[in-house]
Amino acid sequence: MTQLFRVHPDNPQVRLLRQAIAVLDEGGVVAFPTDSGYALGCRLDDKKAVDHIRIIRQLPEDHNFTLLCRNLSQLSSYAKISKNTFKMLKEYTPGPYTFILPATRSVPKRLQHPKRQTIGIRIPDHPIVQMFLDEINEPLMSVTLFLPGESSPITAAEDIYEKLNRQVDVIIDAGYCSSEPTTVIDFASNEDGTPIVIRSGKGNPNPFLAIEQKNDLRTSTFSQIFQKLQQPNNRSDEPPSNNN
């Protein structure tokens, strides 16, 4: 039987969160609220629980989970970050963003992108998940609670209980939760680490789009200069014309 813990959305009862953590320690799966909707989560090193979440969501083996971290210090243990990337993350976390970053060796291979060795990481801006992460003292593996055949994610704990009773171990009920997804920013695809906006969502994408567009403009300008230099009348290695 699924346990339903009703907690205050801004000042959650630590006692109930610790009970949910005890369930995670035993290999359980927990549904909990974040700043961009309810999510399913489990311990980072719990392969059986991860596989159970895949079954609930009917996810393929190559679907990437998101790592929820409580702060940048914890995040830096699981992702490689340049100084420029760190500055941007510091400015926009916590918040409704998912950042795709190169994974460190602390991330199990099975949780990384199979070819790129990357991981999606979040630092959510929600008091319950933040307190949850503080108590656990390690990241959580998570996916958005978006059920097969549904056109939108579940936003109320009562609906989660109705649809997933006996499939998840604990539901943390903090009332209605936003259904708007995170904004996804890729810091791993460009060699210079400039961001690419993969998906616009609840987080403001404009600061990252501005950098992306600036980088595209610079690349385009360099390309035009190179092409111009390759034109016959601009090549410096051609012999001078003979006017005699």
Domain spans in the chain, listed from the N-terminal domain onward: 3-230
Token pair 């404009």 is found at 206
Q: Are 211 and 197 in contact (CB under 8 A)?
A: no
Look at residue 183 in the predicted model and tell me its pLDDT: 96
* Token digits of residue 110: 């099975």
Look at residue 226 in the predicted model and tell me its pLDDT: 46
Nearest to 116, CA basis, from 64, 68, 188: 188
* Token digits of residue 101: 């970053």
Q: How far apart are CA 84 and CA 18, in angstroms?
A: 37
The model's pTM is 0.84
Look at residue 153 in the predicted model and tell me its pLDDT: 86
Look at residue 212 in the predicted model and tell me its pLDDT: 77
- 73-104 confidence digits (pLDDT tens): 999 999 999 999 999 999 999 999 999 999 99
Q: How far apart are CA 40 and CA 155, in angstroms?
A: 13
Superfamily for the 3-230 domain: DHBP synthase (3.90.870.10)
- 103-130 confidence digits (pLDDT tens): 998 888 878 887 788 999 999 999 999 9
Nearest to 107, CA basis, from 142, 141, 145: 141
**HEC sequence for 163-216:** HHECCECEEEECCCCCCCCCEEEECCCCCCCCCEEEECCCCCCHHHHHHHHHHH
CA-CA distances (angstroms) from residue 132 to 66, 137, 144? 16, 9, 17
The residue type of 73 is S
- The list of the chain residues with pLDDT below 50 reads 219, 221-226, 235-236, 238-239, 244
Q: Kindly tell me the sign of the dihedral angle through the C-alpha atoms of 140, 143, 144, 145.
A: negative
